[in-house]
């Protein structure tokens, strides 16, 4: 039977081996999602939330199991082809915005496009449109040091979306923000992922942010627990 999911995670296991023995972080995780869906994963520090995100984003490799994105196993690709696949297919948002301080807000948003097919007029117009959408239309030429923390994180969201990725991965996207700004950025992230029909997976310690998501899971003892919210 064909699986129409855009993301298929099957039996995902991640172990770290050291002098003290083997540490199991993820234990046989299964996950199926389609574009337009949004999932939040919570859990205590050290439970493997970021590890799960990084494996789905091809920044780390599983010990066992498989990940298929749009029908493709990215771990079967050469390093160069995997990097190109990641840039075209996956957008990342981290706790720290990682904007380049020497570049303007607009230039920062365009970086993934520059690393891929190039940034022409169409890409520049998309970047400006995204920045306008998040309230940064008058900040295009500003450097990161000239805007607030919330504005920097909104710019990071735009950068993650510039290449129209199938999957958007957010690792503690509001972790460095005050409560009011965090609520604004969290709502914006969900709104944009719906508008762009992007598959969104967010890991967070924030129960307030987690409560906004239609699908919620808890990572505990290496496994995903919890049921889909049927509201």
Tokens 């117009």 locate to 125
Topology adopted by domain 7-17+25-98+166-225: Rossmann fold (3.40.50)
Q: Which residues pair with 23 in a beta bridge?
A: 16
pLDDT tens per residue, range 135-189: 999 999 999 999 999 999 999 999 999 999 999 999 999 988 888 899 999 999 9
Q: What is this structure's pTM?
A: 0.91
Strand order in the sheet with 215-220: 90-93, 167-171, 199-203, 38-42, 215-220, 223-225
pLDDT for the residue numbered 69: 97
Phi, then psi, of 26 in degrees rounded to 5: -120, 135
Instruction: Give the C-alpha separation, 2 to 216, whole Å.
Output: 25
Tokens 């919620």 locate to 216
Contacts of 109 (CB under 8 A, 6+ apart): 127, 130, 131, 155, 158, 159, 162
Q: Grade residue 227 by pLDDT with cuts at 50, 70 and 90.
A: very low
Least confident of 93-107, 110-124, 188-202: 110-124
- Which percentage of the chain shows pLDDT scores above 70? 95
Instruction: Give the C-alpha separation, 130 to 126, whole Å.
Output: 6
pLDDT for the residue numbered 17: 86
Contact indicator for 14, 48 with CB cutoff of 8 Å: yes
């Amino acid at each position: 039977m064909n699986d129409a999911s855009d993301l298929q995670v099957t039996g995902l296991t991640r172990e770290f081996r050291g002098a003290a023995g083997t540490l199991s972080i993820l234990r046989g995780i299964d996950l199926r999602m389609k574009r337009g869906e949004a999932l939040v994963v919570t859990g205590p520090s050290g439970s493997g939330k970021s590890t799960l995100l990084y494996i789905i984003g091809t920044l780390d490799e599983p010990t066992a199991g498989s990940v298929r994105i749009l029908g493709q196993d990215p771990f079967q690709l050469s390093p160069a082809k995997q990097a190109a696949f990641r840039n075209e297919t996956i957008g990342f948002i981290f706790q720290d915005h990682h904007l380049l301080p020497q570049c303007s807000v607009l230039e920062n948003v365009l970086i993934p496009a520059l690393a891929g097919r190039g940034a022409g007029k169409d890409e520049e117009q998309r970047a400006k449109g995204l920045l306008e959408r998040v309230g940064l239309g008058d900040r295009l030429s500003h450097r990161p040091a000239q805007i607030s923390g919330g504005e920097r994180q909104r710019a990071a969201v735009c950068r993650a979306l510039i290449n129209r990725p199938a999957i958007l991965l957010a690792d503690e996207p509001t972790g460095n923000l005050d409560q009011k700004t965090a609520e604004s950025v969290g709502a914006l992230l969900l709104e944009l992922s719906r508008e762009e029909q992007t598959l969104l997976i967010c890991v967070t310690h924030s129960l307030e942010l987690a409560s906004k998501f239609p699908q919620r899971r808890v990572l505990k003892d290496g496994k995903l627990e919890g049921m889909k919210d049927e509201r």
